[in-house]
Structure 1
Amino acid sequence: MAVAQFSAAPRPSAHPKANPGYGKKSAPGQEPRTGREFAGLPAREASIAGYLDRLDDGSDISIKTLAKHLPYGQCALATALNRLSAAGHLRRVRRPVTVDGNPRWVWHTFFSRTARDDAWWDAFLAGEAPVTEPSPEAVRSAAYGVLARLGRVDPRLTLSAGECGALEESAAQWFARGASEAQFVQAMTAGLPERVAHAYGFVRARLLAKLPPEPLPQPPARYEVVCTACAEPAAEGASLRGGLCEGCRGGRPGLAVDRVHAHAGRLRTVLRARPRTGRGTDA
């Protein structure tokens, strides 16, 4: 699967996991990677999006953690995530759960390399969206790409074009069963012998022996969408356009000038009325 190489974003192999039940969740029905998913975004946002896309589900993608692994400060990351939300690549959500009899909120960030509009996100997060899976042709094409990249990950698994084509169908079954690219590469390259005499036969054997099980059907979960910037749900009767509340989009009206002046005047009056402590004067 071809992935654009963003110089600002390191490989996400050492990125920490969130607490169980939290962290990144991949949106369903995404198109396979082409390396051009984020070409329309500014360079910083494209770099961060590419990094998030390669992280496994359950990764900690809080702003503080991202700042430790990416060459951007927390303010820059917050701005970039807001822009990715507005562009349709992510949504922040929460859902209530009960742990040991105590109610609590569980927080997730859904990420999609395929940009989605507000209507799709709203329907999906309400458990109502029909999920359109990528075409078999697109999945096979993506499988071919990741097979071709194995030799760059480890030269012992270098495959020819014909060998990639012959293994394409078997590799596509992994992605049809929910495996990520990182999981696939790890399964193919972990614990290699010192010498691989026949890369094609070795990869073919691993594709069959380590094929993930069919995923169990899961009932659709309902989430409450919160603002990407302030993590608050929308006000009653309002909507979160682009995953942002009206205030964080810049739509909240400021105070009128006369109210600002009146408030400042009240503060000055309070400060003048405070008794002096006498500190610094002679006894």
Structure 2
Amino acid sequence: MADSHFSDAAHPLANPGYGKRSASAEGPLRADHFAHLTPREGAVAAYIDRLPDTSDISIKTLAKHTPYGQTAITTVLRALVRAGHLRHGLEAVRTPEGNTRWVTRTWWSRAPRADSWWDAYAKGELPAERAEERRRPTRSRAYILLAALGREHGLMSLSHADCTALAPLVEEWFAREATDEQVRRALTTGLPTPVHHPAALARRRLIDKLPPAPPPKARPVRVIECAECGRPPRAGTLTGGKCAPCRGVPTGAPPALPAARVHALAAACRTPARTPGRSPDRTPEGTPA
């Protein structure tokens, strides 16, 4: 990783509702995470990465708290956009009064993301993470909860095979926003004495007492802006963080010539074809030009 040993101890937070926003949950920082960047870009990227969410990562603030000036920071931030680490835009948020307002966002991803990933993120439709990014623990939260039941309630001691088989049922509870304590209470309250088959009893309770699914969450409304002109794309999607006009790609039909220019060009084309004696302000068909 590039040298980034400048202190972030006094780095300020942004105004409420603004500042850095992590776009995804990621594992611990590795030495090669920013190896694809130049040393300066890697140093600033590592600095931004270790700042907490809502930190002020504007050009002026980063220039004040790093060894680089505003021009250098501007260049670095554009490079981080091109590399897929950074995006700027707007997000609709609900106020306590129930109104909706747009706030400025700066989204950060430790892993470099493709344009398609950022497009899906803006729509609230993130694709599945690659296997090397998931890095799930060997034992899931559901497995650990089930394995601990026997230590807390001897009647519900479960084997490794039992925990592995029952974990998907517990995961369904978690998917419905149940807490660990709610699952434990469902599995241990009012136990019969003795419990002949703890795994069978746990399965039955996990199925019969499954809580209702929560109401669907509203998808976020986000607009990612062009890193060059600061506007949302008028058509299509951003490529490398830039809209089509800023990449030099023409959009739509070419602009029409002014009427006066059209008439002048038409007149120039007719001039060689005029017959002596014919009125210069009339066409060969005898209609006014």
- Give the TM-score of the pair, scaled to structure 2: 0.52
Contact 2:117/2:127 (CA < 8 Å) preserved in 1?
A: no
**1:46 match:** 42
**1:84 match:** 80
**1:125 match:** 122
Q: Which runs of 5+ in 1 are unaligned?
A: 140-216, 254-283
Relative distance call for 1:98 and 1:242 in structure 2 (3 A) is same
Contact 2:90/2:103 (CA < 8 Å) preserved in 1?
A: yes
Instruction: Please give the residue correspondences for 1:131-280 in structure 2 after superposition, counting only pairs within 5 Å.
Output: 132=129, 134-137=134-137, 220-235=219-234, 237-249=235-247, 251=249
**C-alpha separation in 1, matches of 2:24 and 2:57:** 18
Relative distance call for 1:94 and 1:43 in structure 2 (3 A) is same
* Count of residues in correspondence between the two structures: 172
Contact 1:16/1:60 (CA < 8 Å) preserved in 2?
A: yes
Aligned-residue offset at 1:11? 2.1
Secondary structure (helix, strand or coil) at the match of 2:87 reads strand
Contact 1:29/1:134 (CA < 8 Å) preserved in 2?
A: no
Aligned-residue offset at 1:238? 3.3
Match of 1:71 among 67, 71, 85: 67
Aligned-residue offset at 1:131? 5.1
Relative distance call for 1:87 and 1:6 in structure 2 (3 A) is same
Secondary structure (helix, strand or coil) at the match of 1:57 reads coil
Structure 2 counterpart of 1:135, one-letter code: R
**1:145 match:** none
1:170-213 deviation digits (Å, cap 9, x = unpaired):
xxxxxxxxxxxxxxxxxxxxxxxxxxxxxxxxxxxxxxxxxxxx
**C-alpha separation in 2, matches of 1:24 and 1:69:** 15
**C-alpha separation in 2, matches of 1:104 and 1:244:** 25
Aligned-residue offset at 1:25? 0.6
**C-alpha separation in 2, matches of 1:26 and 1:127:** 14
Aligned-residue offset at 1:57? 0.2
Secondary structure (helix, strand or coil) at the match of 1:60 reads coil
1:76-125 deviation digits (Å, cap 9, x = unpaired):
11111111111111111202346578864301111111111011111112
Structure 2 counterpart of 1:223, one-letter code: R
Q: Does 1:114 align with 2:87?
A: no
- Measured on the aligned residues, the alpha-carbon RMSD in Å equals 3.0
Relative distance call for 1:117 and 1:35 in structure 2 (3 A) is same
Structure 1 counterpart of 2:237, one-letter code: S
Higher RCO (Cα < 8 Å, 6 or more apart): 1
Contact 1:23/1:58 (CA < 8 Å) preserved in 2?
A: yes
Relative distance call for 1:101 and 1:127 in structure 2 (3 A) is closer
Contact 1:82/1:244 (CA < 8 Å) preserved in 2?
A: no
**1:17 match:** 13
* Structure with greater Cα Rg: 2
Contact 2:2/2:35 (CA < 8 Å) preserved in 1?
A: no
1:32-81 deviation digits (Å, cap 9, x = unpaired):
31111111111111111010100000001111111111121212111111
Structure 2 counterpart of 1:76, one-letter code: A
Instruction: Please give the residue correspondences for 1:27-46 in structure 2 after superposition, counting only pairs within 5 Å.
Output: 27-46=23-42
Contact 1:228/1:243 (CA < 8 Å) preserved in 2?
A: yes
- Give the TM-score of the pair, scaled to structure 1: 0.53
**1:146 match:** none
Relative distance call for 1:249 and 1:48 in structure 2 (3 A) is farther
Secondary structure (helix, strand or coil) at the match of 1:44 reads helix
Structure 1 counterpart of 2:39, one-letter code: A
Aligned-residue offset at 1:17? 0.3
Relative distance call for 1:233 and 1:11 in structure 2 (3 A) is same
Identity among equivalent positions (%) equals: 46
Structure 2 counterpart of 1:230, one-letter code: C
